[in-house]
Structure 1
Amino acid sequence: MSDDDNNIQNPEVDLARHAEKMAKKKAARDKIMATKTGEKGLIIVHTGKGKGKSSAAFGMIFRHIAHGKKCAVVQFIKGAMSTGERDLILGHFSDLCEFHTMGEGFTWETQDKARDIAMAKAAWEKAKDLIRDPTNSMVLLDEVNIAIRYDYIDLAEVLEFLATEKPDMTHVVLTGRNAKDELIELADLVTEMELVKHPFRSGIKAQIGVEY
């Protein structure tokens, strides 16, 4: 009888081998984790053409709220259209999370570049105030990468502020496609959302509970 046949007829052997393998993995993992003791406020970038950049960022905002930690959101491009995240935060958690929608939509919607630039600059000033406030554990700058890409706000100023003025323990999350290479280099955590398939290409519009 071969070893394979023996294993088939003796599932207890497989279970024992699995337990031994998992024990070794756990020991290796515990050894690695024992060296990870530091804490710091992270610069986090969500970029890429795929869906989910803001959704993932709001997931972290809701984690902060769940832990009773103060946080804030500044939306740079998205306009006044109602969204589930904003309605939930303003309706139930405004004591823990400031929410500022300071855009009026994408530039092809407003068709007023000067106004877009003015609003982006105002949003950046609000963002800086919120980041400087040490009581905020996390600040989300939603779609700020778009504002940087269009030169509505200055990349060099953003980089310098994050590097020199962000409190040590404050997390800052920056979302939007086409994040600049310099921002990616500065960041501690970068996730690129890859587009594989999207219902919009099949004629499906944005839907409540999925896109907003």
Structure 2
Amino acid sequence: MQIVKPPTEKPYDKSEGERRGLIIVNTGDGKGKSTAAFGLALRAHGRAKPVKIFQFMKVPTSKFGEHRSFETLGIPIEGLGDGFSWKSKDLENSALLARQGWDKVKTAILSGDYFLVVLDEVTYPISFGWIELEEVVNTLKSRPKDVHVCLTGRRCPQEIIDIADTVTEMMPIKHAFDAGIPAQRGIED
């Protein structure tokens, strides 16, 4: 490890740009995409900003750790799907749920009622062709000026990356699963 000197002067100038809603994308094959989006939701909620979280691959009755925490804090979180596609008994129904879920999401984004709308795992139904990419892009472009939207999931389409303000690609360096360690409740749920 190389020791470095801490900066003694601010390493950047204050931006003179306009404050406005951002499109934020967390993508890539590494862990932490949803976790980072949930951190944004907590930060916004801590500033008394209205937040809504939609999860495209979770069922409405999900009770993962994040659901329990957000419900306790009063942050609305809604499952829109029927679970992972490989567990689905009916992919036609999965596609229908994704389209119906998108209608709810579009309404929430365009309403202007929320400071931040999180679209967790939205890239999957887009890449499966269950949600029209063009409609997602148009909705993001048409949203009210002060609405922030955070999208998560692997293989984010380039069309969304192109209009996004901030894109982070999570890259795996090492993962416990690759060493045969199963997912841990409270860490990966």
Corresponding residue for 2:48?
68
> What is aligned with 1:6?
none
Which amino acid letter does the alignment assign opposite residue 123 of structure 1? G
Q: Does 1:86 align with 2:56?
A: no
Deviation at 1:91, TM superposition (A): 2.5
Instruction: Decide which of 77, 80, 104 is 1:126's aligned counterpart.
Output: 104
Aligned equivalents of 2:102, 2:184: Cα separation in 1: 29
1:197 alignment counterpart: 174
- The structure that is helix-richer by fraction is 1
Task: Give the residue type in structure 2 aligned to 1:188.
Answer: D
Deviation of residue 37 (structure 1)?
4.2
Residue identity over aligned pairs, in percent, reads 38
| Contact 2:57-2:82 within 8 A present in 1 as well | yes
Give 1:47's aligned amino acid.
T
| Secondary structure of the corresponding residue to residue 187 of structure 2 | coil
**Amino acid of the residue matched to residue 141 of structure 1?**
L
**Structure-2 residue corresponding to 1:137:** 115
Question: TM-score, with normalisation over the residues of structure 1?
Answer: 0.82
In structure 2, distance between residues paired with 1:148 and 1:134: 23
SS of 1:204's equivalent?
coil
Query: RMSD of aligned C-alpha atoms?
Result: 1.7
1:1-212 map, 5 Å = 22=8, 25-26=9-10, 29=12, 32-33=13-14, 35-79=15-59, 80-93=61-74, 97-164=75-142, 166-212=143-189
> Following the alignment from structure 1 to structure 2, what is the Cα–Cα distance between the partners of residues 74 and 122?
12
For 2:94, the aligned partner's letter is D
Shift in Å, 1:196 = 0.9
Partner SS for 2:106: helix
Q: CA deviation at 1:144?
A: 0.3
Give the length in aligned residue pairs. 184
The 4+ residue runs of structure 1 with deviation greater than 4 A are none
Deviations 1:118-149 (A, max 9, x none): 01011101101111222210000000011101
CA distance in 2, matches of 1:102, 1:157: 18
The Cα offsets for residues 33-53 of structure 1, whole Å up to 9 and x where unpaired, read as 1x4342010011110000000
> Structure 1 regions of 5+ residues with no counterpart?
1-17
Measure, in 2, the Cα distance between the counterparts of 1:113 and 1:121: 12
**Cα offset, 1:111, TM superposition:** 3.5
**Which structure would you say has the larger Rg?**
1
